[in-house]
């Protein structure tokens, strides 16, 4: 039957009717809040509050461990299930040894947050780029010009980092380096360490994206030379994103991720259909910064824009959305 018997506007007439047939719903339980924890911010006279604002990401600060604990409390009180931790270490070196230091910044923050808020999930980003002095996500093979990131040597360091996070109390580990074989290596290393119950949330289809710009300011992790196109994915490739994800599933990923989110909604849908896995999407720093800048200029309604965006990411197939707007969205959904 077509018009005039069929009239789609019938079910759009009132809020109650629209609610009855709404296909996609948002709840705070679907959002994860990323946080940046910085070594040495406590007791830093330049930052008496233990917080350092990030210019390109209004509302997001780098945090001391104490402030991270306080912020985690706020996150838990809003009904959000968890936080995703990034660390800014005391010192960087060629191999990023701060990443697997038992007393490193993420390990310390994880222990402190879990002690104060045991039910809140602490997910740790597992990568070397915040810890290497060259800003790349792995160990450099120096022979070639420019140097390249040595896959297998990096995988060993990444697995070591994941184990140290789990030992500190991380509930899930989230490798974001895009080395081949790292999910399998992490699974084996965790199992060997008696941690067969620690799940892996794999950044499976992580694209080499301009939308990470603000994050690299926040985490001080821009590559010193070259770019990440030798390991992160080409934004042009959807079939390859499915292959990357299926390999991570084979290697033991428990949750797969597509990143960024907004320019990759088709990839989210394809990954969901191809894997039937729990899918996370990372609504990244540049996506946050765009909305913030447009809202500050009076060009967009921030609340409406963010809720529409989050709905679209969920409609595309994401079960979990990692977003710097998580706390705002949780508040907006309350009233
Ligand atoms: C680390 C990592 C990055 C992001 C998450 N983990 C940066 C990058 O790969 O350059 C980006 C997150 C964001 O932009 O919000 N490898």
Mean pLDDT by 10 residues, the chain (335 residues): 97 98 98 97 92 96 98 98 97 96 98 98 97 94 88 97 98 97 98 98 98 92 92 97 98 98 98 98 98 98 98 98 98 92
Instruction: Quote the pLDDT of residue 312.
Output: 98
With a 6 Å cutoff on the Cβ, whether 277 touches ligand 1 is no
Instruction: Quote the pLDDT of residue 32.
Output: 99
Q: What is the Cα–Cα distance from 177 to 160, expressed in whole angstroms?
A: 13
Question: Are 174 and 125 spatial neighbours (Cβ–Cβ below 8 Å)?
Answer: yes
Instruction: Quote the pLDDT of residue 43.
Output: 86
C-alpha count within 13 angstroms, C-beta hemisphere, residue 242:
12
Instruction: Quote the pLDDT of residue 128.
Output: 96
With a 6 Å cutoff on the Cβ, whether 205 touches ligand 1 is no
Instruction: Quote the pLDDT of residue 142.
Output: 87
Q: What is the Cα–Cα distance from 260 to 177, expressed in whole angstroms?
A: 14
Q: What is the Cα–Cα distance from 109 to 41, expressed in whole angstroms?
A: 12
Q: What is the Cα–Cα distance from 190 to 172, expressed in whole angstroms?
A: 11
Here the tokens at position 248 are: 């991570």
| C-alpha 293 to ligand 1 mean position (Å) | 20
| C-alpha 234 to ligand 1 mean position (Å) | 15
Distance from chain centroid for Cα 167: 20
How confident is the model over 178-189, as pLDDT tens digits?
Answer: 999 999 999 999
Instruction: Quote the pLDDT of residue 220.
Output: 85
Instruction: Quote the pLDDT of residue 309.
Output: 98
Q: What is the Cα–Cα distance from 180 to 230, expressed in whole angstroms?
A: 12
Domain 26-334 listed as CATH 3.50.50.60: no
Instruction: Quote the pLDDT of residue 132.
Output: 96
Q: What is the Cα–Cα distance from 131 to 116, expressed in whole angstroms?
A: 26
Instruction: Quote the pLDDT of residue 144.
Output: 80
Q: What is the Cα–Cα distance from 38 to 61, expressed in whole angstroms?
A: 10
Q: What's the N-to-C CA distance of the chain in angstroms?
A: 39
Q: What is the Cα–Cα distance from 127 to 129, expressed in whole angstroms?
A: 6
Instruction: Quote the pLDDT of residue 217.
Output: 86
Mutate to test the pocket of ligand 1, among 59, 123, 125, 176 (most ligand atoms within 8 A of CB): 176
Q: What is the Cα–Cα distance from 4 to 318, expressed in whole angstroms?
A: 36
């Amino acid at each position: 039957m077509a018009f005039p018997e069929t009239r789609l506007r019938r079910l759009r007439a009132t809020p109650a009717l629209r609610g009855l047939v709404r296909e996609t719903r948002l709840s705070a339980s679907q959002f994860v809040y990323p946080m940046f924890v910085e070594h040495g911010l406590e007791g830093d006279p330049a930052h008496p509050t233990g917080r350092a604002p990030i210019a390109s990401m209004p509302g997001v600060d780098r945090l001391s461990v104490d402030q991270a604990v306080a912020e985690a409390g706020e996150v838990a009180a809003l009904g959000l299930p968890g936080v995703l931790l990034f660390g800014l270490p005391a010192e960087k070196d060629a191999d990023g040894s701060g990443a697997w230091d038992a007393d490193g910044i993420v390990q310390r923050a994880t222990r402190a947050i879990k002690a104060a808020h045991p039910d809140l999930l602490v997910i740790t980003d597992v990568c070397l780029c915040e810890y290497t002095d060259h800003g790349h996500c792995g160990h450099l093979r120096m022979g070639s010009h420019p140097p390249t990131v040595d896959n297998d040597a990096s995988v060993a360091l990444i697995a070591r980092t994941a184990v140290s996070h789990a030992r500190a109390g991380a509930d899930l580990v989230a490798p974001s380096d895009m080395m081949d074989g790292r999910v399998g290596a992490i699974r084996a290393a965790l199992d060997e360490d008696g941690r067969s119950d620690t799940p892996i949330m794999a950044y499976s289809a992580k694209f080499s994206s301009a939308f990470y710009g603000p994050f690299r300011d926040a985490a001080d992790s821009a590559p010193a030379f070259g770019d990440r196109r030798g390991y992160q994915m080409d934004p042009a490739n959807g079939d390859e994103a499915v292959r990357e994800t299926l390999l991570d599933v084979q290697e033991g990923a428990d949750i797969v991720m597509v990143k960024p989110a907004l320019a990759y909604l088709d990839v989210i849908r394809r990954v969901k259909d191809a894997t039937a896995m729990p899918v996370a999407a990372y609504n990244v720093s540049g996506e946050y910064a765009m909305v913030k800048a447009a809202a500050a200029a009076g060009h967009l309604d921030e609340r409406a824009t963010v809720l529409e965006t989050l709905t679209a990411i969920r409609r595309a197939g994401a079960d979990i959305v990692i977003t710097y707007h998580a706390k705002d969205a949780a508040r907006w959904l309350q009233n």
